[in-house]
Amino acid sequence: MPYRQFVTKAQAEGFWVGAIWDPRLESPEYLADVRALADCYVEADFQDPETLRRTLREVAEEQRATVIHHLGREETMVTAYEVAEDLRAELNPAAAIRLLADKHAMRDLLAERGLSPVSFEAAPTRRDVPEAVGRIGYPAVVKPAALAGSRGVFLWREARDRAEWTALVDEYGYDGPFLVEEYLRGPEYSVETLSRDGRHQVVGITEKLLGPPPLFVEVGHVHPAPLPEDRRRALEELTTEFLTACGYRFGPAHTEVIWTRSGPRIVESQARLGGDRIPRLVELATGLDIERAIFAALADRSAGPASPTEPTEPTERTTTKAAPATATAIVRFFTFPPGRVDEIRGLETAARLPHVDELTLRLHPGDTVPAVRDSKSRHGHVIVHGPTPAAAQARCAEVLAAIEVVVDDTPVRADGRTGALGTPV
């Protein structure tokens, strides 16, 4: 860490950048780029917390680093901030990062503060999950507490779902701990924020497009989310109050919220930017490069077009309005049925459309199409933008209708109507 684009954007704001990577996490070509760009590059085993801790300390002390900031995977975030705290180079208390990284600790905090009440129960191992589901009541959502990227999240609707759930966690080789929660019904959003000195700027709110149960793998995102002002304000206020309660001081956060009949309920939050190309959607819609804005804020400069006016009397809890959007940007992910890829049609035509910002398909003729189980196993994506929500939706539909994959002699288009893409023609 950090990722390649963070190295260049931090350097553009005047920072010396040291990078520490586990070589198993990216391709040799990608890491060669990071090595060439970074001012210092070191490799370490991220699966060994003590090795990572020692490496971080040695590099920081040798290079006289004044700041240690983690912008990567949640699995190593707490370790990095503990070292930063020991060296007085932290931007956030390690305790705040633990609250955001630990799903159970986050639920405990929300319950203590009376924020976003949700029924939940911890299950230390998989053997404890069925009884916890029974106490919460069907349907219940079961989350692996130590996995990220939608991996292993499962809606347990009735007792006979146990076999399917067991097979899912077997795939990940995961035994616990788990968090069992009541099933929150309603549209889901993510609130994108950037904090500095404990003041939280709401960069924008993104609408999530979810796939079908029981896995709910995201099939797309829309930024900005089409929301009435009162609902938008409620999402912003809940998110910033939560971040303040965590003690979060600096950097991006990505907080997922479901709007239920009883109002907004926090699903989870991470001390990082949203995945699924959400930062690119924000940039297309508002003009704000939120990745570079992190380092501009660290350098105490303006964050860009969406940067707020600083309050004259800073307080621990300050909320600024979402970035004004001048367009709508959409990402849609491709999900095709299992089988053998015979042919791919329309990809080059779709890529040439002027409103297509990115288009990636990870399938090739002769490939076996893998089943989509989480965000990492999706088959590709497209990003489009338009001056209005309707225009962006129409342009997205045009692209999805143009792409066709022939699977086992059956043409399959990428324009499903129900949220699960890959509807047969």
- Domain ranges for the chain: 4-90, 119-182, 188-326, 330-413
pLDDT for the residue 301: 66
pLDDT for the residue 75: 86
Nearest alpha-carbon partner for 63 in 24, 19, 93: 19
* pLDDT tens, residue by residue, 79-110: 999 999 999 999 999 999 999 999 999 999 99
Q: Express the helix, strand and coil content of the chain in percent, nearest 5 each.
A: 35, 25, 40
Is-contact 398 386, C-beta < 8 A? no
pLDDT for the residue 416: 40
What global pTM score does this model have?
A: 0.90
pLDDT for the residue 326: 85
> Rounded distance, CA 83 to CA 72, Å?
16
> Rounded distance, CA 140 to CA 134, Å?
9
Q: What CA–CA distances, in Å, run from 344 to 123, 364, 383, 384?
A: 45, 7, 19, 20
Q: How many residues does the chain have?
A: 425
Three-state DSSP class for residue 394? helix
| Common-topology check for domains 188-326 and 330-413 | yes
Q: Which residues of the chain have pLDDT under 50?
A: 303, 305-320, 416-425
Is-contact 154 141, C-beta < 8 A? yes
CATH of 188-326, one of 3.30.470.20, 3.40.50.300, 1.20.120.420, 3.40.50.1970: 3.30.470.20
Question: Pairing between strand 154-156 and 140-144?
Answer: antiparallel
DSSP-derived letter for residue 408 is T
CATH architecture of the domain formed by 330-413: 2-Layer Sandwich (3.30)
- Six-digit token string for 209: 């497009």
CATH of 119-182, one of 3.40.50.10310, 3.40.50.2300, 3.30.1490.20, 3.40.50.620: 3.30.1490.20
Number of helices (H) and strands (E), helices first, in the chain?
13, 19
H-assigned helices in 154-226: 162-172
Q: One-letter amino acid identity for 246? A: C
